Structure 1
Amino acid sequence: MKLLICDDDVAYVEALVKHFISENPTHYEIRAYSTLDGLMHDRGTYDVGILGEQYLEAYEKDDLEDVQIAHPLLLRAQEGEDREGVESIYKYQSMRSFKSQLAKTVGRGDAGMSQAREHGESRVIGVFSPMHHELQLPFALCLSDWCGQREPVLFVNMEALSVQPALMDVEGRRDLLDLLYVVANRKETKVNLAEYICESEGISFIPPMNSPTEVAYITGEQWMSCGQKIRENFRGTIVLLLDYMMQGFEQVLSDCDGLILLTKPGEYYRKSMQAFRNRFLEERKFRCWMQQVSLPMSAGATMEETYDLGQMLRSKMAQEIRKELQHVPYLA
């Protein structure tokens, strides 16, 4: 990601640059200025510009004619200072929230995106448990959090009836079923994906459906059309939590770039996975990469009565999941 950071606060700019570089030196290309005169001589092209007030004004007035920014953001020192028509980012929030907003901004993929972004196509990673591992949702959320440390990530839960809303501290006005309906019935090709995306604990997601009955009527073609719209409007990694309870399961699976198969130790679970591989995967010869992950723990041993997403991401269970993810070479 190519970043332009400009603000009069020299210490803040230096600290921000140092944080990005120390965390992931290969992911960010950064140029920073603390004077407007210095910026005037720049001729760069950037994915995101994090700009103090006077720097943004100069950019909007075309005083910086050789600088191109796909997403200029106003760096504001006070909360609640949003300016009409200008997207802003709060200066003194936690770095986790700061980076999450950056990822969401770059990943939005709206029609106004300039050629400054060079991320290429999105990739889709499916998570599926043939034996319905009780921790498949926590695993998929931890995977989203893991990938989100390095790139924009969108989590899409395709379970027919999920416990996910109970873990989140936000409720979206629209969910995946609404998006499916719009894609299936609207003649216009453009979809504003940002209207469906929510965020909790730094994870961007589309709220899941809450009607098993409705899922039965969604066709494979509708699932594929919805997936295509998400790919077109989001640049980054899309994590799909797959469910048996839908038409078009095979089609959705074939659209994944990678598939993580979740299982447990033990003969019963080994046979369940073997049956799925032999009777389904090998017959259809899917081309995506596949990785089997075995989680020995269960929800009863890891979850508390007051569990929420924040607690889950900081739990011992999440630590164990991250250890397993380190052994998935395709996530690098």
Structure 2
Amino acid sequence: MRAFRYESLPGRVVFGEGSAETVAEEISGQRVLVLATPRGLPLARRIAEPLGDRVVGEFTEVREHVPVAVALHARSRARELRADCLLAVGGGSTVGTAKAISLELRLPIVAVPTTYAGSEMTPVWGMTSSEGKQTGRSLDVLPSVVIYDPALTASLPRALTVTSAMNAMAHSVEGVYAAGANPISSLMAAESVRALAAGLADSSAESLLYGAYLAGAVFAVTGSGLHHKICHVLGGAYDLPHAATHSVVLPHVAEYMDGPALAPIAAALNASTAASGLRELAHRVDAPTSLASLGFPPAKLAEAAALVAAQSPVPEPDIHALLAAAL
């Protein structure tokens, strides 16, 4: 067996039906700021209700890709309220906003995911400005507690379930070839892909959430690669929907990166190659398969390829061909 390094990240995970009812037991803070989208606020309030007057405020100006202006306002709100803990109830954008606060204020985050984004398991943060999307890694933004309750994702609209689960799958697929890949994370990645594919097939929120948890844990250890570089550029520069973009790009990057490292993914999908398995799955669950359908302007293809190539060792002609296929 080849030599490897595996670093387990700190954090506590609580998984199972009814887990959201334990939020008050998992929060040690006395001045809690609740973060949610306007649509998710009623659920967040219900989950936070046992905290009583320990909740000192709410922040609902959550936006996809975490614009810098939103991050600055969220930090200002946390300072104004003298918050000592953040309760993030929602998807990746909500958790990402909490991370933007903690990146500067070092506040503990308790995350209650309601989608399959996986951001709650990673020390990766991201913010978007007019110059594009900037990302980084810091243990200061890694949630201290993550509470997974399948009941909170069971009512997701089917279209969102599909794109969110494919987004999670992208974490695991990339995790087998990223710079930090190792035998332990590859085992987790294969199990994640099996769980996500099974969950999409039988609409099992429990399988999907389990797979998403593993996918986030894989990504947290291995780091990102070509797939995420492409998706971050497309999302940040052209305001494309995050999860759907991952869904479209994933099979194309898998085909480009095809090799022995991706064999566990192919096996998990019962396919000859990872790319063919991902394409078949996308077709079966009616996932988006073209950038054009997401609103990406064909005239920007060369520009996007240049932006990605500037952040990647992959030659620009290869990036251009990959994006053209995805278009």
- Determine if the TM-score, normalized by the shorter chain, exceeds 0.5: no
- What range describes the TM-score normalised by the shorter chain of this pair? 0.3 to 0.5
Structure with bigger RCO (C-alpha 8 Å, 6+ apart):
1
- Comparing both structures, which one devotes a greater share of its residues to strand? 1
Whose helix fraction is larger, Structure 1's or Structure 2's? 2
TM-score of the pair, normalised by structure 1: 0.32
Quick check: which has more Rg, 1 or 2? Answer: 1
